[in-house]
Amino acid sequence: MVLKVGQLIEDIATGFAQAELFYGHGTDNPYDEAAALVFHVMGLEHAGDVDQYQHEVTTEQHERVQLLSVCRVETRKPLAYLLKEAWFAGIRFTVDERVLIPRSPLAELITGHFEPWVNQDKVSSILEVGTGSGCIAIACALEFPTAQVTATDISPDALEVARLNTDRYQLAEQVSLVKADLLDGIEGSFDIIISNPPYVPDHESAELPSEYLHEPVLGLFSGADGLDSARRILQDAPRLLSAGGILVLEVGAQWEALEQAFPSLPFIWLEFEHGGEGVAVLQAVDLQQ
């Protein structure tokens, strides 16, 4: 009997469901995870037509899918690390264990050009704090082709991965990668400062699913309440924002704790069509009071 793509996805999804894997690195259910694996191995495009599900699977492709699916189950390693690839804002990125796997709702804000908070035509400089794989900085560069983008990270390993991705999209002249601890040592004036910093409280490390423990701790944890990095960004951002600039800060489930820590700041919490929480916009004038 000839094995086809649709049936292989069903088979792998059944195994993933039985293994009770955790999803949160690009998919949220076993079927989508299985489809991502099979499509990657077979070189199929997710935006392709439904006829792809009738493609025949070769023996070699079947063996490759099985090998990766067994590794996914036995190691609990996120699929993106096994495939060395992740998607963000509709763009492929190289990823490995040196960086977090892209999964931020900020993609929706970036592809929407940060409207209505900025005038797209007047954005000339963007700063991303804690770039990791470079996905946010690169997505910003592609959406704002005339803007210069600076991306910081404290990890030399992460910056190596970010360089792979800036080179992949030939953005080395538009995107500057800088080794820095958040905003320390950064100078200049930026129309947009954007950051998805670490925000998991240290004490929650034991509660995280196994899949998250494959990721670099530098990108996950940030003090007793998870807000150490956010506090430093809020402290340093005012000196770097242009007069009409904005700070976009993601703190996930810690958003209520951030509000309580800074009761005088008028956080604007965004709602996303495709899900996600804990992303705030602050205008320069509000931060400089």
Q: Which domain holds residue 145?
A: 86-287
Domain boundary among 83, 105, 132: 83
- Range in 35-44, 90-99, 227-236, 268-277 the model is least confident about: 268-277
- Tell me the CATH number at 76: 1.10.8
- Asked whether residue 71 falls in the same domain as residue 91, the answer is no
**Share above pLDDT 70 across residues of the chain, in percent, rounded to a whole number:** 99
Q: How confident is the model at residue 289 (pLDDT cuts 50, 70, 90)?
A: low
Domain boundary among 44, 62, 83: 83
Task: Identify the CA nearest to 98 among candidates 50, 31, 142, 163.
Answer: 163
- Asked whether residue 35 falls in the same domain as residue 177, the answer is no
CA-derived radius of gyration, the chain? 20
- Asked whether residue 185 falls in the same domain as residue 262, the answer is yes
- Asked whether residue 185 falls in the same domain as residue 99, the answer is yes
- Asked whether residue 77 falls in the same domain as residue 94, the answer is no
DSSP 52: G
Instruction: Report the C-alpha gap between 264 and 67 in whole angstroms.
Output: 54
- Asked whether residue 112 falls in the same domain as residue 136, the answer is yes
pLDDT at 50: 78
- Asked whether residue 29 falls in the same domain as residue 96, the answer is no
Instruction: Report the C-alpha gap between 24 and 252 in whole angstroms.
Output: 13
- Asked whether residue 123 falls in the same domain as residue 266, the answer is yes
Query: What's the number of domains the chain is made of?
Result: 2
pLDDT at 276: 86
- For the record, the structure tokens of 114 come out as 């940060």
- Asked whether residue 67 falls in the same domain as residue 112, the answer is no
Rounded to an integer, the average pLDDT of 177-194 is: 97
Rounded to an integer, the average pLDDT of 255-261 is: 96
Domain boundary among 38, 62, 83: 83
Half-sphere exposure in the Cβ direction for 189 (13 Å, CA): 7
Task: Tell me the pLDDT tens digit for each residue of 9-46.
Answer: 999 999 999 999 999 898 999 999 999 999 999 999 87
Task: Tell me the pLDDT tens digit for each residue of 132-171.
Answer: 999 999 999 999 999 999 999 999 999 999 999 999 999 9
Task: Identify the CA nearest to 101 among candidates 135, 51, 63, 64.
Answer: 135
pLDDT at 184: 96
Residue with tokens 């998607």: 87
- Tell me the CATH number at 129: 3.40.50.150
pLDDT at 157: 97
- Asked whether residue 138 falls in the same domain as residue 173, the answer is yes
pLDDT at 273: 87
Strand (E) or helix (H) holding 6: helix 5-19
Task: Identify the CA nearest to 103 among candidates 114, 88, 81.
Answer: 88
User: Does the structure show a pLDDT above 90 at 51?
Assistant: no
- Range in 228-232, 233-237, 285-289 the model is least confident about: 285-289
